[in-house]
Amino acid sequence: MNIKTLEFVGSFPSETACPDSTFPEYAFIGRSNVGKSSLINLITDRKEIAKVSSTPGKTQLINFFEVNESWHLVDLPGYGYAKVSKKNRAKFSKMIDHYLLSRKQLQCAFVLIDARIPLQEIDREFISKLGASGVPFVLVFTKIDGVKLGKLTDNLRDIKEKLLEEWTELPQTFITSSTKRKGREEILELISKLNKA
Ligand code: GDP
Domain ranges for the chain? 6-196
**Angle at CA 28, nearest 5°, toward 24 and 65?**
55
Contacts of 57 (CB under 8 A, 6+ apart): 32, 78, 81, 83, 84
Query: ipTM greater than 0.95, yes or no?
Result: yes
Gap from CA of 196 to ligand 1 centroid (Å): 31
The minimum-distance atom of ligand 1 relative to the CA of 31 is 3
What is the model's pTM? 0.94
The pLDDT profile of the chain, 197 residues, written as one tens digit per residue, is: 889 999 999 999 999 999 999 999 999 999 989 999 999 999 998 877 666 544 554 558 899 999 999 999 999 988 877 666 777 777 778 889 999 999 999 999 999 999 999 999 999 999 999 999 999 999 999 999 999 999 999 999 999 999 999 999 999 999 999 999 999 999 999 999 999 98
CB 107 within 8 A of CB 192: no
State whether the beta carbon of 31 lies less than 6 angstroms from ligand 1: no
6-196 folds as Rossmann fold (3.40.50)
Ligand 1: which atom is nearest the Cα of residue 176? 23
